[in-house]
Amino acid sequence: MYISNYRRRSEAVFLVFLFLLAFCVFRVFYIQLFRSHYLRQIADKQHNLFAELEPRRGSIYDANLKALAFNMSVDSLYASANSINAKEKSKIISELPEILGLSEAYLTERLNRKKAFIWLARKLPPEKTEAVKKLKLKGLGFLRESKRIYPNGYLASHIIGFAGMDNKGLEGIERDYDRYLTGQPGWALFLRDARQKKLDIWQQMVLPVDGQELVLTVDEVIQYIAERELDKAYRKFNAKGASIVVMDPHTGKILAMASRPTYDLDNHINVNKDSMRNRAICDLLEPGSVFKIVTASAALEEKKASEEDIFFCGNGTYQVGGRILHDHKPHGRLTFRQVIEESSNIGTVKIAQILGEDTVYRYVKAFGFGAKTGFDLSGEISGMIKEPRYWSKTSISAIPIGQEVGVTALQLASAISVIANGGQLMRPYIVDSIRDKQGNIIKENKPVLVRKVVSLDTASRIRKILTGVIEEGTGRLAKVLGFSAAGKTGTAQKLEPNGAYSHNKFLATFVGFAPAEDPLFAIVVIVDEPRPVYFGGVVAAPVFKAVAGDAIRYLKSNELPPEAGQQ
């Protein structure tokens, strides 16, 4: 009996152990077959750290390869939130806000996320990085990233634009050419020890591909000169806005382009949209008297008038289709040349009436108005010009003098370049080339001839007339000692919301080129609502004078005598 009970108990114990062994074997097989992938992931998270490797964004250079935007390596702070205990989190939350300029609430929210990797602060200045390292806080680490640097602050801000924290272009060239500048990210799998500290050992790595570099047509020195003088006029005349374009008339290269108001590329977070707007390509304006160049060119090209033909300017008043047209001061009999030099509205309209509506419209379109120029920076508008079938009875007295037509500063630069280069409309462009890190050219822009607008003879004759505008006409304040220049003033009334022309809101404009005999550049200056003075010959012409004088001395510093171009 005793032996029998002992045997039963032994068998029961054996069966229990056998069951437990079977269960363990089954559990091992279950884990190996069905849970191995999940558990391996947990182990990898504990001992491996995955990090994306950011490519270096391509630099942007001016025409002389001076850096306008580039990237610099800096440290970014991250936390391994899952591995930080409550006491360490409390210490981090209490000590980091003062250094990083972050709120405790922000850090608390970040550290309470159940993640193995989380950013706390991106792209820190070196002094902040050192301050954090001195605290020796557990669970924190640094990764090297690249930060976009704009060494010139405000300079060329409307051209360059800016990139965001993740090096993605958000405005200007940075946005339009982001696909070239960004590059391709890489990644690395780093090993960590039992305390979750990153080891300088990587298990796998794919290196990033750096972005390509842009070379612009902009000359940093000319850009600075243009912005300096535009800013002076903008502030002096309490203007609502202003813009300037400096263009190589022979190639279409933009040497400088600026707008006011402006903004600092390194501090763009709270800047309003008005300050970011590139007025030179996206503001529609009635050009006023600078548009008379089109009418004058058409008349000479079509042989409907010559320089010494006489036009009676009605002593200051002239009626067309029920509209009374006035000159800024009364004129009697003026030659064709004097009509342009003295900027007579009446004389210009009489020339246009000889040409007829269809011919005037044809030349307006030929000079590039009413269509986009094809400029390689986004935001450009096409402007506005009505077809003759939509003209009213008074349109022939408005369009030839720059009313009832909408243009941009860039279109005006292209149009005045037609006269400067001998009659050819060139497509403006601002990106010269795209290159790789070794300097090999990936893509290159070349001058593009859009069309022949007028003959070389007509362009030369208009050039002489525009030289007279500065020497003897309304543009005397654009004259620079030491060399000749050609140009045209404009003072345009702005439209009120009710469609009527304002009597206290004006656009002061000047278009011109220099030197007149062999132009290096064409310049357009527009000042929006200057006060108290508003005439183009007084407000905009001096900007042309200063920019032209300094730019020529810069470009021909080895050729000019010391007194040339002195202001």
Least confident of 149-153, 294-298, 410-414, 418-422: 149-153
CB 483 within 8 A of CB 514: yes
Q: Tell me which residue of 178, 172, 229 sits closest to 57, measured CA to CA.
A: 178
Three-class HEC string of 307-361: CCCEEECHHHEEEECCEEEECCCCCCEEEHHHHHHCCCHHHHHHHHHHHCHHHHH
Amino acid at 218: V
User: How much is the pLDDT for 565?
Assistant: 45
User: What are the E-state strand segments in 453-567?
Assistant: 486-495, 501-514, 521-528
User: How much is the pLDDT for 51?
Assistant: 61
CB 275 within 8 A of CB 169: no
Mean pLDDT of the chain: 88
CB 560 within 8 A of CB 277: no
Least confident of 24-33, 172-181, 339-348, 387-396: 24-33
Percentage of the chain beyond pLDDT 70 is: 89
Q: Quickly state the pLDDT bin for 49 (edges 50, 70, 90).
A: low
pLDDT at 199 over 50: no
CA atoms within 13 A on the CB side of 320: 23
- Would you state the structure tokens that stand for residue 216, as one six-digit string? 């612009």
Residue 289 designated active-site: yes
CA atoms within 13 A on the CB side of 268: 27
Percentage of the chain beyond pLDDT 90 is: 60
Tell which wins on pLDDT, 111 or 162: 162
User: What are the pLDDT digits (tens) for 371-389?
Assistant: 999 999 999 999 999 999 9
CB 339 within 8 A of CB 312: no
User: How much is the pLDDT for 92?
Assistant: 83
User: How much is the pLDDT for 451?
Assistant: 97
How would you class 522 by CB atoms within 10 Å of its CB: exposed for 0-12, middle for 13-18, buried for 19 or more? buried
Least confident of 73-77, 151-155, 298-302, 523-527: 73-77
Cis peptide before 261 (omega within 30 of 0): yes
User: How much is the pLDDT for 112?
Assistant: 82
Tell which wins on pLDDT, 534 or 560: 534
Report the C-alpha gap between 304 and 307 in whole angstroms: 11
Least confident of 246-255, 421-430, 494-503: 494-503
CB 400 within 8 A of CB 349: yes
Name beta bridge partners: 311.
334
Give the domains, in start order, of the chain with CATH numbers: 52-57+69-147+183-191+201-216 (3.90.1310.10), 220-263+278-555 (3.40.710.10)
Tell which wins on pLDDT, 74 or 430: 430
Q: Considering the candidates 259, 289, 395, 417, report the single residue annotated as catalytic.
A: 289
Mean pLDDT confidence for 196-207? 55
502-508 contacts, C-beta under 8 A, 24 or more apart: 505/529, 506/530, 506/534, 507/285, 507/286, 507/287, 507/288, 507/536, 508/237, 508/534, 508/535, 508/536, 508/538, 508/539, 508/540
